[in-house]
Structure 1
Amino acid sequence: MDHLCVAHRGFSGIAPENTLAAFKLAIDQPFVRWIELDVQLSKDGVPVVIHDFTLERTTNGTGRVKDTDWKELKRLDAGGWKSTEYQGESIPALAQVLDLCRGRVSLNIELKTAGDMYPGLEKAVLREIVARDMENEVVLTSFERSALRRAKELAPGIRTGLIIDARPDDLAKQLEGLQCSFLSMGYPRLDRKLMKDLTGRGITVMAWTVDDRSIMRRLASLHPELMICTNWPDRWEQVFLHSKHRMWHYIRNLFIK
């Protein structure tokens, strides 16, 4: 796997997060193998891609996502807050993102919910995935464990993952109980021992959110299979691909001499 690059909410360092512009820019980077995104439901039950429960930070709208119909949501400007270049960029439906990414990049889809905030979220998301035969191209992740359980009940074969920013002693046991084969963890919590234990149990681990090159290098030393989620995929390229090229030239020169 070699520290797979995961574009956090797309290439969100440059383009407005969780928009088609950010996803297209991420896909354009040949080294980006995964994209992470957030899904909620509109008032009328459409899975939409947005991080915050409220609209104010990343759009020109107000109020809660769950209280707004899809017809209203898609009219909002979700790009102008980032720069005038992206003014008019809209909130995408999950269906649009799946159509864009299918066969091109894998998706880490966070079920963005809390408690019973979004009844039917898992079913709506799975409906869009299954309709496109993309079950093998996604992992459904969440902080909300009940959402992961519901997803597994609806689609036992779907891959799921827990998001956590803590380090419980029985983490491996918790993942087993949730039937999760994926873990999304805040990077300061990770170390070599935990990585060895989890990967030895068949758990894929992703570190979030890492934008500092020196931290990327330190994390790389923990385990070769650690996935790295970043807002700036170009920095991932500078750390990993450039270092590989330097090593290749060094070895090549040894043999030439």
Structure 2
Amino acid sequence: MNNLCVAHRGFSGKAPENTRAAIQMAMDEPFVHWMEIDVQLTRDGVPVVIHDFSVDRTTTGRGKVKDLTWQEIRRMDAGQWKGRQFKGEQVPSLDEVLQMVKGRLKLNIELKTSGDMYPGLEEAVLERIRAYHMLPDVVLTSFEPKALIKAKELEPEVRTGLIIDAHPRNLISRLKQMKCSFLSIGYSHLDAAFAAELMRNGITPMAWTVDDAKSMRTLAKMSPDIMICTNRPDTWGQIFIQKIAPKVPFWRRKWRF
């Protein structure tokens, strides 16, 4: 059992999601190999790491991310909603996250968009990834096929993956048409046969969002190639920590797709 653990928005089960505190907490776990984050653009074009299209739920501010400047978002508290100990946490920029994880974790970066909400999002994200020389260490994912196609047009070498909470019959053919080598799928839609079919076609599956031990064990039994995305890396660790080989240095790890 050597499924890769993906920390969903960092260690969001304990820390405020998509903040530096959650990212650091995820990095502190030796069995976390990957992290999933969400990226949007501010009004002045800065890629920021936040999930909702609005800042209302996870910050002390109000409004839509696309209508706010970087400095306006920066002044908001993004931590105290999760607990007093996180007061003062800020919404990080993509730059800050890349600086934190470079050489330590690989990233699943969700392009958080719908339709034409964020013109230039793909360019802005790819520019920052290239600036940190992290193209081999990321996969760009999205619910929005247009964003994935655009990203591939801009950078043919970037790995891309569709996010979906369904299993339509033509899914693999759609992924091939979009040149995706990754599938982020709601875990209830995965079974052993489908996981094997994906791998035969050069597509790595990631199951989301899996927080209970029973579901994690079920997925692990299906295939060791299913990446497990979770808000609770500690639960994953309780199951797998005794069965993992000694941690392999980052520079010796290989992609599995």
1:133 corresponding residue in structure 2: 133
Aligned to 2:77: 77
1:242 Cα deviation (Å)?
3.5
| Corresponding position of 1:175 | 175
2:186, 2:207 within 8 Å by CA — same for their partners in 1?
yes
Matches within 5 A, 1:1-257: 2-242=2-242
2:26 partner SS:
helix
CA RMSD of aligned residues (A): 1.1
TM-score, normalising length: structure 1: 0.94
Identity, in percent, stands at 59
Q: AA paired with 2:170? A: D
User: Counterpart amino acid of 2:215?
Assistant: I
Structure 1 residue 244: deviation in Å? 6.2
Post-superposition shift, 1:243?
5.5
Are the equivalent residues in 1 in contact too, given 2:2–2:244 (CA < 8 A)?
Answer: no
The superposition leaves residues 44-87 of structure 1 with CA deviations (integer Å, 9 ceiling, x where unpaired) of 00000000000111000001000000011111000000000001
Q: CA deviation at 1:240?
A: 1.4
Code of the residue aligned with 1:224 in structure 2: it is: P
Which moves more between the two structures, 103-112 or 215-224?
A: 215-224
**Structure 1 residue runs of 4 or more that deviate by more than 2 Å after TM superposition:** 242-245
Task: Select the structure of larger CA radius of gyration.
Answer: 1
1:176 Cα deviation (Å)? 0.2
**Structure 1 gaps, min length 5:** 246-257
Tell me the residue number matched to 1:251: none
Cα distance in 1 for residues equivalent to 2:224 and 2:121: 34
Give the secondary-structure state (helix, strand or coil) at the position aligned to 2:150.
helix
SS of 2:222's equivalent in the other structure is coil
Query: In structure 1, the residue corresponding to 2:33 is in which secondary structure?
Result: strand
